[in-house]
Amino acid sequence: MYMPPHPVPHAPAPAGPDSLPNPFEQQRTLAIEYLHPQPEAEPEGTVIQPPKAPPKMTAVNPLVRLLLRSPFHGVLSDTLLLLTYTGRTSGRRYTIPVAYSRVGDVVTVFTHHTWWKNVERGAPVVVEVKRQRFAGTAEAITHDWPAIAAALRAHLREHPSMARAYHVPLDVDGQPDLNAVQQAAHFVVLVRIRLVTSSGHA
């Protein structure tokens, strides 16, 4: 059985400049975990101290948001969207770029971070994808391993460049390794967003 190189759910460090053609390709590859700080997801009364994102990602994050809201969004918007949700304890709104897959009115994202706890019982969110804003309801799926694995495999088929962030090898046909996906499913949370309305262009 394939074993990932790191037993803990951390995305790998950014590759060297020779292996990444431009900053936007870097964002496509690393957006899963590095594009945003860890927002609040702690028990009531906990003082939230978000860890610092890597400096390069922190610097690029505003650029990514700007680009996704610009006429040039196509550079990234097939892979990234902007997700806005409300912190469950502070009431603060967060907008983060995340990698996504979409089938009809269902958007799928994955995370290793704990921001998903803000939507674990279902919560209203706003999704900005390809310069369109959609209201939606997000729910976190944490222990349904077959469902997470199936969704993750479909996600990596659509976005094979993301596979290395999950330590999932691709076969000669570019398909994600099933055993590796099943293992990765134990370290990620699936957030499923059902879009309910569109409020037009951003």
CATH classification of the domain holding 38 = 2.30.110.10
pLDDT at 23 over 70: no
Residue 6 located in a structural domain: no
Question: Which one, of 164, 177, 134, lies nearest residue 15 by Cα?
Answer: 164
Q: Is residue 184 part of a domain?
A: yes
User: Residue 117 falls within a domain, yes or no?
Assistant: yes
- pLDDT over 90 (residue 15): no
How confident is residue 49, by pLDDT bands cut at 50, 70 and 90? very low
Q: How many domains does the chain have?
A: 1
Tokens of 196: 């309910």
* CA quadruple 75, 55, 189, 3: dihedral, nearest 10: 100
Q: Work out the average pLDDT over 94-104.
A: 92
Give the closest residue to 142 by CA, choosing from 151, 134, 133, 131: 151
pLDDT of residue 112: 86
Tell me what the mean pLDDT of segment 87-109 comes to. 92
Residue 138 lies in a domain: yes
**Contact present, 134 and 195 (Cβ < 8 Å):** yes
Q: Is residue 73 part of a domain?
A: yes
In a domain, 3, yes or no: no
In a domain, 1, yes or no: no
Domain that holds residue 91: 17-201
Q: What is the pLDDT of residue 37?
A: 42
Across the range 139-167, mean pLDDT stands at 94
- What average pLDDT does this structure show over 135-139? 96
Average predicted confidence (pLDDT) for the chain: 76
What percentage of residues in the chain have a pLDDT greater than 70?
67
- In contact, 67 and 59? CB cutoff 8 Å: no
Does residue 8 lie in a domain region? Answer: no
> Comparing 64 with 21, which gets the higher pLDDT?
64
Question: What local confidence, expressed as pLDDT, does residue 58 receive?
Answer: 52
